[in-house]
Amino acid sequence: MLLFWPVAIPFMTAVLTMLAWRSLRLQRAISVTGGVLLLASAIAIMAAVAENGPVAAQAGGWPAPFGITMVADWLSAVMVLITGIMAVATLVYGLADVTAAEERQGHHPLTHGMLAGICGAFLTGDIFNMYVWFEVMLIASFGLLVVGGGRAQLDGAVKYVGLNLIATLAFLAGVGLLYGATGTLNMADLHGKLAGREGETAILAAAMVLIFAFGSKAAVFPLFFWLPASYHTPSFATSALFSAMLTKVGVYALFRVFTLVFDSGAPGLQPLLIWGSVATMLVGVLGAAAQMNVRRILSFHIISQIGYMVLGLALWTPLGLLGGIFYVIHHIVVKANLFLIAGIMRGYTGSEELREIGGLWRHRPWLGVLFLIPAMSLAGMPPLSGFWAKLVILQAALEQERWIVAFFVLLVGLLTLFSMSKIWNEAFWKAHPGGEGALAPRTPLLALLPAVALAAITVAIGLYAAPFVDVAAAAAAGLLDPQAYLAAVLGATR
């Protein structure tokens, strides 16, 4: 039952918040409590995996590969745990950020519905059920984008849903091709049935279609345009949760499916993934350099950082996979925090446009420090978490003598530093165009606490990287050698 709680808790919370629609105070209490319970269940799953290795459960008593399988190994346990952390952080922040009108329009049930879809995608052992959880996540996230009903939100939502629906159809087509070729959709079972069949036309077609589907969800080049068009439109709490988790579900799917089901190191797939990830890094960071809106800059940087993560998978070495997984952990915390801080900045200055704001360093120096921690980590400055993440990816590329790839790893880091410096110069260093009186006197404590907590996590990962690297190494080892995963899922039926 333990593995079903990260799905059951958000669904129950969503229902309870809908039943409490008459009382915003009760909705908020239920919502935050649900986030805390989700985090508690994630901690329990992480403890179970640390003690016993991969664990699996079958719904309804049907044995794998015939039933609905939920399974947690190091990778999925880490992803569910960090989802719980992000849920608590953004839900608490939302108490100060989300308007009463947005809450009445369903912010809380939609948020928890999305969390259920995210956790389900991380824990499922069946590729068709992964598609189902993707749909749950998509529907809820679309609802969150249109909450408030502003013109910019509706425009962003149309672009967001447009490409994601195409990706959904591609995902379903890939699932159909796999089932037609193997007669199974359980990923552990597919691992055995696809052994030695990589050259078959149907298998190659399924792999290419699924790369398109997952790449669209992860916003890799050239399937990224929906992200910067939509992530700047909802509340800052929603933007932070989106930036932390939505694209990471696509990245997780790439890591899971293209290690357990397909071999991403295959000659036909590896060059596509490597150069696709390099293009993603470069296009994302150049897009960020051209923007003058804080959330648009941060949105384009999500794209560029996704390239680093996919590159770790594409390199297909223990060090590369370790680096990719470590990068995911680091980036979720850092990127969510930058969106939260962007909300605090707008609360003080009244705008997200860099030309219209300023004066924060002189009057709010503590906010400058709070911004610099995740900003410099994103750029890869030592000794913060991003430095170690980029260093491992760089070392993995150099080990394979991929000099051009290593060059772009360094170049994109420098361009990221430029973008973060642009925000610093405009928002913090220069004077506010409206004068000192244009700055708001204070910001709610509930908005500051999550930002401070996430900044502390970033510093902790940087200064005490060894435990996090060990977890990433264990997750990478489990992907390269899935025997424990297979045994947990298939057991005696294997």
Residue 248 has pLDDT above 70, yes or no: yes
Residue 72 is inside which H or E element, if any?
A: strand 69-72
Of 41-50, 193-202, 341-350, which range is least confident? Answer: 193-202
Query: Average pLDDT, whole number, for the chain?
Result: 90
Q: Are 302 and 251 in contact (CB under 8 A)?
A: no
Identify the DSSP state of 353.
B
Rounded average pLDDT over 128-138: 94
Residue 146: partners with Cβ closer than 8 Å, 6 or more residues away: 153, 154, 157
Rounded average pLDDT over 419-435: 85
Find the angle CA(126)-CA(268)-CA(220) to the nearest 5 degrees. 65
Q: What is the pLDDT of residues 350-374, one digit of tens each?
A: 888 898 888 888 888 899 999 999 9
Question: Could you give the CA distance from residue 56 to residue 124 in angstroms, rounded to a whole number?
Answer: 9
Question: Could you give the CA distance from residue 378 to residue 330 in angstroms, rounded to a whole number?
Answer: 9
pLDDT of 252 reads: 97
Question: Could you give the CA distance from residue 171 to residue 174 in angstroms, rounded to a whole number?
Answer: 5
Q: What is the pLDDT of residues 445-478, one digit of tens each?
A: 788 999 999 999 999 999 999 999 999 999 999 9
Q: To the nearest whole percent, how much of the chain has pLDDT over 70?
A: 95
| 493 pLDDT tier (thresholds 50, 70, 90) | very low
Rounded average pLDDT over 67-81: 94
Residue 414 has pLDDT above 90, yes or no: yes
| 131 pLDDT tier (thresholds 50, 70, 90) | very high
| 492 pLDDT tier (thresholds 50, 70, 90) | very low
Which residue matches tokens 């390199």?
315
pLDDT of 163 reads: 79
Q: Are 148 and 101 in contact (CB under 8 A)?
A: yes
DSSP string covering 194-252? TTT-TTSHHHHHHHHHHHHHHHHHHT-TTS-THHHHHTTSS-HHHHHHIIIIIHHHHHH
Q: What is the pLDDT of residues 42-65, one digit of tens each?
A: 999 999 999 999 999 988 777 778
Residue 242: partners with Cβ closer than 8 Å, 6 or more residues away: 141, 144, 231, 234
User: For 175, what's the count of Cα atoms within 13 Å in the CB-facing half-sphere?
Assistant: 18
